[in-house]
Amino acid sequence: SLVVRAAQNQSNDPSDEKEEKEGPENSSDSQGTDWRAFRARLIANERSIEEQDQPSTSDASKAPENFAKSLGACWAHPILKPEAGCVLIATDKLDELSIFERTVIILLSAGSSKGNEGPFGLILNRPLPHVLKDIRPQDQALAEAFGESQVHFGGPLVSDLILLLQGASARKGYQEVVPGIFYSSAEGLDQAVSMIKDKASGAEDFRFFFGYAGWAIGQLEREVEDGYWCVAACSTNLFISGSAANLWEEVLKLMGGQYAELSKKPKKRWFK
């Protein structure tokens, strides 16, 4: 059976890489190259060469130029194993487990055997029928800054509140997942309110989650091997700006091939 367990002593090592200006997802004051975008360039170019049956080195040398013209703001491709900042896409095997049915999870940390930490992340496509002022009406400053912000179900493991921030640079009290994407526990709420007051960020840059998903060390890898999850790298713009209702289908379609076919499959009717 699929059992999702809490990750202990949770932490995530921020990446030393900086993000390259490519599209809406990238920050204006980042420097250098986002290694995930560079990897996506190579994969997209390999696919293009295979499709066009032009494997010559002269064509391959044009990969970055061709990629920049064709990739667009939203991209996704499969990767071999979970990594921080990747997304987990539920397969049809999880249609029988309603809590994870057709979910897309951003992995905030891939875990660490040295620190005895399991992977953990947030479900991106489970918005709740509540806004923040309904959840915390007693907090006037929070209600003024984020009163109309929607709250999301982040997973079955208990947490007060987790914030996901799309920002240009590191923020105090926030852990970087990939360039431009940060998270914090409820302790980061005061800092979030300050960012709004200082006009350093807008309310639309934040997402609020109750609960999270976590795994024991080695558990997620086994679930991937057993076919419960597809693992993908994708542009941050996709899960920040995209529609939560269509995120599962959209990521799979961008991955192409067998994954695009999975996006068309009807849900299993497991109930009687």
For residues 248 and 267, give the distance between their C-alpha atoms in angstroms, rounded to a whole number: 12
- Helix %, strand %, coil % for the chain, to 5? 35, 20, 45
> Within a domain: residue 153?
yes
> Within a domain: residue 53?
no
pLDDT in tens, 151-181: 999 999 998 899 999 876 667 789 999 888 9
Give the pLDDT confidence score for residue 171 in this predicted structure: 76
> Within a domain: residue 115?
yes
Q: In terms of residue numbers, what domain contains 98?
A: 76-263
Q: Report whether 83 contacts 107 (CB < 8 A).
A: yes
Strands, E assignment, 82-200: 87-90, 104-109, 120-123, 127-131, 150-153, 162-166, 175-178, 181-185
CATH number of the structural domain spanning residue 109: 3.40.1740.10
Q: How far apart are the first and last CA of the chain?
A: 20
> Within a domain: residue 26?
no
How many other β-carbons are positioned within 10 Å of the β-carbon of residue 97?
15
Least confident of 10-24, 46-60, 69-83, 174-188: 10-24
> Within a domain: residue 36?
no
Question: Greater confidence, 125 or 1?
Answer: 125
Reported pTM: 0.80
Give the pLDDT confidence score for residue 243 in this predicted structure: 77
> Within a domain: residue 181?
yes
Place of tokens 């204006």: 28
Question: Greater confidence, 246 or 169?
Answer: 246
- pLDDT exceeds cutoff 90 at 31: no
> Within a domain: residue 38?
no
Give the total number of structural domains in the chain.
1
